[in-house]
Structure 1
Amino acid sequence: MSRTPTARLFHTDSGTELVLDRTFRAPIEDVWASVTEPERTARWFGPWKGDAGPGQMVKLQLAFEEKQPWCDLRIESCSAPRQLEVSMKDEVGNWRLELALSEKDGVTTLQLTHHLESVEGIGEIGPGWEYYLDMLVAAREGTPRPEFSEFYPEMKPYFDGLR
């Protein structure tokens, strides 16, 4: 199956932002639960454990990555059910992510913004976020999970072209 990338790249005064959206015919509270409750995040990204709250650290397992590593994830801010900002570090670098949710007429839009330190590696990062958001769609709809090979390396030229 061929997938079409949806991400956009914005250059701002404070850096570069990779932005992706998905829409769901569901109340905002239900979509929020899909991205914040550990048993639901386990279905598409990975489970987490710990005391969640602004300024707190939780342990997140990257369940669909090689070796399924656990990492520390800091909750920078949270305004349920509309906004969540998190950060983490790994061998690739610093990750600053923001989820914004909005609902209109029974349709909830989820916007993921990855605040990038540089566009280095965008050809790998972008397809990864497309994959994970489509994993979220599949988890919510009860459809088969997509294969990462449907996203990478096929989408790499698109993301490299955004630079």
Structure 2
Amino acid sequence: MTDTASWLKTIHREVEAEDTDAGRSRTVVLRRSFAAPIEDVWDALTNPTRLKRWFYPITGDLRVGGKYQLEGNAGGEIRECDQPNSLVLTWEYDGGGSSDLEVRLSPDGDGATVVDLRHTAVLPFDDETWAAGLGQFAPGWDHGFSRLDAYLHGELAEDDSPNDLSPEAQQLWELAGKEWTEVANAWRNR
């Protein structure tokens, strides 16, 4: 990857909120174009052998209605799968609540693919508290996007780990946190 700050500017970020029967629902949205065909991006997102190279090893009953578990991370249920267009999952941590993750893919001309990720949760926080913490947790998705991009470009070493907090990864988290803080401030002041 080239300059981290410039690369992070290639991600569109936004937040949304909605009152539901379950409570206040909040969504982080990331959207980015990747220089790879939709079938290749889909396979990198859903093929366990490829997924573990850039994200986490996955186990489980990997079909609609089945349960999955990412090693050392979240697990949940696969709710919808429309190859190669969309994947909808629950996102659950041991002892934590459940949230929803939706990933949509669409062609972006010249063989590129837009990935639109939406992570939605109903949490017991007011909007102000939630927005204040956004810069701490949302950069995890930026980190995932950066690793997917590096993987699709053949730039990840075979033994590279998503838990690696190299100076470059730390810089990405810090700069992405600032990007999300700006998004949160704009959202709060709307």
Bin of the TM-score, shorter chain as denominator length: 0.7 to 0.9
CA-CA distance at 1:71 after TM superposition:
4.5
Name 1:47's counterpart in structure 2.
57
Query: In structure 2, the residue corresponding to 1:43 is in which secondary structure?
Result: helix
Name 1:10's counterpart in structure 2.
16
In structure 2, list runs of 5 or more residues that go unmatched.
161-165
Partners of 2:177 and 2:37 in 1: CA distance: 33
Name 2:103's counterpart in structure 1.
99
**2:93 corresponds to 1:83:** no
Query: In structure 1, the residue corresponding to 2:65 is in which secondary structure?
Result: coil
* Larger helix proportion of the pair: 2
Deviations 1:34-77 (A, max 9, x none): 0000011111111212221111102221xxxxxxx155321011
Residues matched between the structures, number: 156
Query: In structure 1, the residue corresponding to 2:56 is in which secondary structure?
Result: coil
Q: Which has the larger radius of gyration?
A: 2
Q: Against the structure 1 CA distance between its residues 11 and 59, is the aligned structure 2 distance closer, same or farther, given a 3 Å change threshold?
A: closer
In structure 1, list runs of 5 or more residues that go unmatched.
62-68
Q: Which one is further off, 85-94 or 37-46?
A: 85-94
TM-score, scaled relative to structure 2: 0.71
Partners of 2:138 and 2:74 in 1: CA distance: 20
Alignment of 1:23-34 (within 5 A): 23-34=33-44
Name 1:153's counterpart in structure 2.
174
Question: Structure 1: which amino acid aligns with 2:175?
Answer: E
Kindly indicate whether the alpha-carbon contact (under 8 Å) linking 1:18 and 1:116 is maintained by their aligned counterparts in 2.
no
Superposed CA RMSD in Å reads 2.3
Q: Against the structure 1 CA distance between its residues 148 and 54, is the aligned structure 2 distance closer, same or farther, given a 3 Å change threshold?
A: same
**2:126 corresponds to 1:116:** no
CA-CA distance at 1:97 after TM superposition:
0.7
Alignment of 1:115-134 (within 5 A): 115-118=120-123, 120=130, 121-134=133-146
Kindly indicate whether the alpha-carbon contact (under 8 Å) linking 1:128 and 1:151 is maintained by their aligned counterparts in 2.
no
Percent identity at matched positions? 29
Question: Structure 1: which amino acid aligns with 2:80?
Answer: S
Partners of 2:92 and 2:117 in 1: CA distance: 18
Q: Against the structure 1 CA distance between its residues 71 and 155, is the aligned structure 2 distance closer, same or farther, given a 3 Å change threshold?
A: closer
Partners of 1:112 and 1:71 in 2: CA distance: 16
TM-score, scaled relative to structure 1: 0.82
CA-CA distance at 1:31 after TM superposition:
0.8
